[in-house]
Amino acid sequence: MRFFEYEAREIVKRAGIPVTDFGFTRDAAEAKEIAARIGGPTVIKSQVLSGGRMKAGGVQFADTPEEAQTHAENVLKLEINGQMPRGILVDPKADIDQEFYVGVVWDGTAKQPVIIFSPVGGIDIEQVAEEQPDKVGRRHFSNILPFSDYIAKEVIASTGVTGSDLNKLVPIVTKLAKLFVEKDMTLAEINPLGKLKDGSFVALDAHMDMENEARGRHKALLADLGVADEETREAREATPFEIAGEAVDAMDHRGVAGNVTEFDGNLGLVIGAGGGSLTLFDAVRAQGGDPANYCEIGGNPSVNKACGLAKLVLQKPGVDKIAVMMSIVSNTRVDIVARGVIKACLELNMDPAEKIAIFRIPGAWEDEGFLILDKYGVEYADRSVSLHEAARRAVEKIGAAA
């Protein structure tokens, strides 16, 4: 879950890392007050989760509070990559001597966090790594041993930084590393980390991503920041169709029938499980099909849930037929899913034989499932029909219908 910059800065500040005297607001008049309080030139920054703010005009510089208000009005109205800003951040325009970079991420290969440090900040760290590799230091640290300052010292020193800069940077990097671990972040980044004319350091921007699975451990922090439980903070906001999918999955605690993602095609998909859904979605597209949605069934959901998911997809505008397909199931039951999708058709006064382009779920209780499908005249396939072949048949049928 990604944080807005104003939240990320607050997290950094709470960890004891110096930040500028910034203010957050959703109101242009208040932006003027904040700018007046700060005194001197300010920066008005759009608070969106998307990158590319600067290019889109979401970052503006103001010399006076009045100018800050004018920029604030404009930035608050500016949509960036499909997102309206949450608000704006009013930041003093700092007098910077040098920009540094520090970030902490997981290394899935080493299975440890890694600190990345560079005396070249303010730009994309991947670009620095390509152009000036000797200016980027990396240092893994243990998941079990307590973090110790020397680890931060080593990574900073490895980039050639020494003197009082080194000594001032060690506590900042240490605090960021500890914050990364304690707050279950998947990314904790300060870029740029500014060195002011007086030689002190201050975080000028911060980017934080918290692991979704760990949100439950940080309820107090999230409540303090005003992050609501239902905010998913995915790359794009959930559509009403996707929110309805969440509601289906929440109908009871048996299994999964959800993770719905909306697309704009005519072939509705009732598919599973994790890997099966990925494979099947690719397969439908490879056969020239146009999926209306992505979803996942797994863990043996109730008939009610399978029915709810199928109804949701069947009722989606533009959907002509649905394809019900999974990789071989060993826990989810074929007959239960068959009952669910047929019931969905019946309750919507649709003919299952016509609406279900194909049913390809082999595995547990398949004989029972096939009896049900026979009764309603639904075309089905067993494991001898591959996932791609099932997708091909579904696409062929919907082509004939269009």
Partner 1 sequence: MSILVNENTTFIVQGITGREAVNLTRECLDYGKGAKVVGGVTPGRLGREVHGVPVFDTVAQAVAHHGSPIDGSVVTVPPAFTKDAVFEAIENGIKLIVIVTERIPRRDVAQMVELATLRGARIIGPNCLGIIVPDVVKMGGIGGPAKDAAKSYTPGSVGVISRSGGMTTEMSSTLTAAGLGQSTAVSIGGDAIIGSSYAELMPLFEADEQTEAIVIYTEPGGRMEAELAKWVTDNNSRLPIVAFMAGRFMDEMPGMSFGHAGTIVEGKEDTATEKIARLAEAGIVVAEEIAEIPELVKQAIAKRKG
Partner 2 sequence: MDGVFISVEVNGDAAADAALAAKLEEVCPVSIFKGTPSGVEINAEFLDECVLCGLCLDAAPDGAVTVTKLYSGETLTR
Q: How far apart are CB 54 and partner 1 at their closest, in Å?
A: 19
Using CB under 8 A, pick the residue from 168, 388, 396, 399 that binds partner 1.
388
Three-state DSSP class for 256? strand
Choose the one of partner 2, partner 1, none that binds residue 343, judging by a C-beta under 5 to 8 angstroms depending on kind.
Answer: partner 2
Minimum gap (Å) between residue 213 Cβ and partner 1 = 5
Between 263 and 376, CB nearer to partner 2: 376
Q: Please, are residues 257 and 308 in contact by the beta-carbon 8 Å criterion?
A: yes
* Structure tokens belonging to residue 90: 């009013």
Q: 163-182 and 149-157 are packed helices; what angle lies between their axes, rounded to 10 degrees?
A: 130
Q: Cβ of 100: how many Cβ atoms within 10 Å?
A: 25
**Tokens of residue 64, six digits:** 């006076």
Q: Does 90 bind partner 2 (CB under 8 A)?
A: no
Establish if 275 lies at the interface with partner 1 (CB under 8 A).
yes
Under rule CB under 8 A, residue 278 binds partner 1? yes
- Give the CA-trace dihedral at 279, 285, 288, 293, to 10 degrees: 110
Q: From the CB of residue 356, how many other CB atoms can be counted at a distance below 10 Å?
A: 30
Q: Which of residues 330-349 bind partner 2 (CB under 8 A)?
A: 333, 335-336, 339, 342-343, 346
Q: Is 229 in contact with 365 (CB distance < 8 Å)? A: no
Shortest Å distance, C-beta 350 to partner 2: 14
217's contact among partner 2, partner 1, none, with CB below 5 to 8 A by partner kind, is: partner 1
Judged by CB under 8 A, the chain residues 3 through 62 that form the site for partner 1 are none
Residues 181-220 that bind partner 1 (CB under 8 A): 181, 184, 186-187, 211-214, 217
- 304 touching partner 2, by CB under 8 A: yes
Among residues 277, 309, 343, 344, which is the contact residue for partner 1, using CB under 8 A? 277
Q: Select from 136-144, 150-158, 241-249, 313-321 the region that touches partner 1 (CB under 8 A).
A: 136-144
**From the CB of 57, what's the least distance to partner 1, in Å?**
22
Contacts 24+ apart (CB under 8 A), 153-162: 155/115, 155/116, 155/117, 156/117, 158/117, 159/117, 159/118, 159/119, 159/134, 159/135, 160/119, 160/134, 160/135, 161/119
Tell whether omega for the bond before 92 is within 30 degrees of 0, i.e. cis. Answer: no
User: CB-based contacts of 243: which residues, under 8 Å, 6+ apart?
Assistant: none
Cβ-based nearer residue to partner 2, 152 or 342: 342
Q: Determine, following the binding rule CB under 8 A, whether residue 239 of this chain makes contact with partner 1.
A: no
Tell me how many degrees the CA angle 221-226-228 measures, rounded to the nearest 5.
95
Q: Residue 44 or residue 303: which is nearer to partner 2 going by CB?
A: 303
Q: Is 324 helix (H, G, I), strand (E, B) or coil?
A: strand
CB of 309 closer than 8 Å to CB of 255 = no
CA angle, 231 then 235 then 241, to 5°: 65
Among 95, 282, 347, 351, which residue interacts with partner 1 (rule: CB under 8 A)? 282
Out of partner 2, partner 1, none, what residue 328 binds, judged by CB under 5 to 8 A for its kind, is partner 1
Among 285, 290, 315, 354, binds partner 1 (CB under 8 A): 285
Q: Which of 38, 104, 283, 303 binds partner 1 (CB under 8 A)?
A: 283
- Considering beta carbons, is residue 31 or 257 the nearer one to partner 2? 257
Alpha-carbon gap, residue 40 to 62, rounded angstroms: 9
Count CA within 13 A, CB hemisphere, residue 44. Answer: 35
Q: Does 130 bind partner 1 (CB under 8 A)?
A: no
Lookup: tokens for 63:
């010399």
Nearer residue to partner 1 within complex by CB, 66 or 282 = 282
Number of residues that bind partner 2 (CB under 8 A): 16
Contact in structure between 318 and 266 (CB atoms under 8 Å): yes
Which residues would be at the binding site for partner 1 (CB under 8 A)? 105-106, 108-109, 111-113, 126, 142-144, 181, 184, 186-187, 211-214, 217, 234-236, 259, 261, 272-279, 281-283, 285-286, 294, 296, 298, 326-331, 363-364, 383-384, 386-389
Which residues would be at the binding site for partner 2 (CB under 8 A)? 302-304, 333, 335-336, 339, 342-343, 346, 368, 371-372, 374-376
